[in-house]
Amino acid sequence: MERSLDIFSVAAGLARLAHANDGETYDHGCRMRPVCNLLATRLGLDGEAIERIGVCAQLHDIGKCTLPETVLFKPGRLTPDEYRQMTEHTSSGHGLLRDFGHPWLDCAADAALHHHERFDGGGYPHGIAGVAIPLPARIIAVADVYDALRSERPYKPALDHEKAVNLILRGDDRTNPSHFDPAVLAAFQHGAPAIRQLYDGPAVGA
Ligand SMILES: [Fe+2]
Ligand SMILES: [Fe+2]
């Protein structure tokens, strides 16, 4: 009897299960996967690492399934206590993924824990900096902000590709290039035309 499980099917099933009532987070993970594959490719990683990072990206927000719906689906700004609960999706995600005993899900657990760390040390939950942050989490951090900027929210419109890229590369009052690994930012900048195609399809006339 064949007993081995295909890791891509397991990851897809976990994502569907965790986000059964939260289509936006499910779709967010699905959109992030090819973007992170692309960034990992541009960073020169090997084929297995590229695919592994894609799985990490698909599952990075899995901890959100532990949040109360009043926080997860709140249309307006979060109160300080609600924000604190939201930040806990990192450690919750780590807790959900860490015990499968599969190296790719161990990697996904670490990425879930650290994808809101910042390269300059100003992120959460641990405030670690630089290459102490696992590479999948450093890659996800850039793709995560891009996807958030491209997405409409009750309190903000979606930005177009050019505006989202410029904001990530130049910063504003919330986002700063110092938050990101410079090597991942360079991969993002050079890969931006291909990322635009993932979101917008081929340019008209192209
Ligand atoms: Fe997150
Ligand atoms: Fe995310």
Domain boundaries, the chain: 7-197
Q: Tell me the CA–centroid distance for residue 81 and ligand 1, in Å.
A: 17
- The torsion angle over the Cα atoms of residues 82, 83, 84 and 88, rounded to 10 degrees, is 100
pLDDT confidence of residue 153: 85
CATH architecture, range 7-197:
Orthogonal Bundle (1.10)
Q: Could you tell me the pLDDT band of residue 206, with boundaries at 50, 70 and 90?
A: very low
- The one-letter code for the residue type at 117 is E
Q: Tell me the CA–centroid distance for residue 47 and ligand 2, in Å.
A: 23
What residues does the ion ligand 1 have nearby, CB within 5 Å?
A: 61
Q: Could you tell me the pLDDT band of residue 3, with boundaries at 50, 70 and 90?
A: confident
- Could you give the C-alpha distances from 197 to 40, 153, 167, in angstroms and in order? 17, 22, 18
- Could you give the C-alpha distances from 46 to 39, 42, 43, 108, 195, in angstroms and in order? 12, 10, 9, 17, 20
Least distant ligand from the CA of 28 = 2
Q: Tell me the CA–centroid distance for residue 205 and ligand 2, in Å.
A: 33
Q: Tell me the CA–centroid distance for residue 57 and ligand 1, in Å.
A: 10
What residues does the ion ligand 2 have nearby, CB within 5 Å?
A: 61, 144
pLDDT confidence of residue 155: 80
List, for residues 97-121, the tens digit of each pLDDT value. 999 999 999 999 999 999 999 999 9
3-state secondary structure of 121: coil
